[in-house]
Structures are given as structure tokens and as C-alpha cells.
Amino acid sequence: MDIELRNVWYSYDGVNYVLKGVSLKLSSGFHIVVGPNGSGKTTLLKIASLIYKPVRGEVIVNNSNYWALSPNNTLIRKEVVYVHERALLIRGSVKNNLELGLKLRGINDDSTLKYFIERYNLFDIIKKDVRKLSAGQAKLVSIIRALAVKPKALLLDEPLNHIDMNNAVLLIEDLTRLVRDGSTVVVATHYITPDLEGLADSMYEVVNGVLTSSTSFRARIRY
């Protein structure tokens, strides 16, 4: 999926802009957006995920101006998945949450759930109430829920926070597989790990709402 931001501006209060004239193109591949807390990278991801409408500028999805389309543009929206930095889970069990995305898309695919349960060894928590999960477990469930629907575009905010090393390796492998299958994956982070850097087809830096594309900051950034 191709997602392009053209001269995008965004403000929460109508006075102060958290994004200022941002333009970038995201296509099939792995993309990293890096910046300190409060830089605007989360807002950028939410606009690219078609959650926020920019105050000014355009969001072009597969050559169409998304916000100028008719209200019946849900098919495009279902192909784009955003995963919050803080896990947002529905009430109920881990299994309920893993099934959610598939059900919303009318997909009945027990084999996909079985694959992820086995791959991430979720047997001990699959029936557990999500309110009793650790931060790392909740984060893992929220990401697996997104991976299960095989989105055309997957945007993740600090996906490796609270994730143990073994599961982080598995997640990176699954994100790599998603890209290999033609999807667009975007990761926002305040710190580029060597594993993430090795995957990147493009890297962007956001500071005070201004975006730059560069390779010069790869060695120096650690916010």
C-alpha cells in the first residue's frame, strides 16, 4: 500500500502545531520514524494510519486523496492498522482480543490464531483476563492481534517497549515476513536498535514537528 503525506500540518488546540509541513512517501517496505518524546512522531503515525485528519495538507492512499473520498471508504481503512504505544485491549480474555480483528473483517481463520498462539507460546495466558496481563504481555497481544489480519499497512508506536528479547526477535521476523509479502510497515521509536536499523528501507527524523529524511543521524541518535 502506498501512503503519501503532502505538506501536512496538525494542531490539537488550533494554535500550536505539532506537525509542520510534513511530506513523505511510504510504500511497500520497512520505514522508521525516530524522534524524542513530544516530537510529533505519534501524531504523524495516526495521520498516516487515517485516524487523524490533517488541519492542512493531503493524505494520498494508492493515488487517491483519502479525506476527499466518500464516507464509504471503509475498505481502505480496514487495510491499515495502527498499534498504540500503550496496549489498547478490549475487556475479556487474550483469545477474545486475538479474535477481534479477524471478526471485524469477517474472517474465520482458526489456523492463524493457532499459529500465533504456538509461535509465541501463549498457552498459559490465552484464557487470561487482559486486565491481569503484564505490560509486556499486553503489548505483545496488541501487536499479534494486528499481525493476524495481515494488513496492507501496519504502523506501530514503540513496538519493542516492554517486550522481552525472545519475543522481540519473533516480532521482528514476523514484521520482516509481512514486508516480504508486500505490506508497508512503519515503526515510530525514540531509539533505533541495530535490529530495526538493519530492516529499514527508509528512515525519518522528527524534531519539533519538522520531518527530515537522512542517514546521517543513524550513528548518533539515542534520545
pLDDT of residue 150: 93
Residue at grid coordinates 533505533: 192
pLDDT of residue 97: 94
Whole-model pTM above 0.85?
yes
pLDDT averaged over every residue in the chain: 90
Cα–Cα distance measured from residue 61 to residue 152, given in angstroms and rounded to the nearest whole number: 11
For residue 74, name the pLDDT band (cuts at 50, 70, 90): low
> In terms of Cα–Cα distance, which of 126, 167, 131, 174 is closest to 149?
174
Query: What percent of the chain has pLDDT above 70?
Result: 94
Contact 162, 139 (CB under 8 A): yes
Q: How does DSSP assign 35-89, residue by residue?
A: --TTSSHHHHHHHHTTSSPPSEEEEEETTEEGGGS-S--HHHHHTEEEE-SS---
| Structural domains present in the chain | 3-213 (3.40.50.300)
Between CA 114 and CA 121, with CA 119 as vertex, the angle to 5 degrees is: 90
The pair phi, psi for residue 141, each rounded to 5°, is: -60, -40
7-52 pLDDT tens trace: 999 999 999 999 999 999 999 999 999 999 899 999 999 999 999 9
Cα–Cα distance measured from residue 9 to residue 18, given in angstroms and rounded to the nearest whole number: 8
For residue 105, name the pLDDT band (cuts at 50, 70, 90): confident
- Which run of H or of E encompasses 25? strand 17-26
pLDDT of residue 223: 42
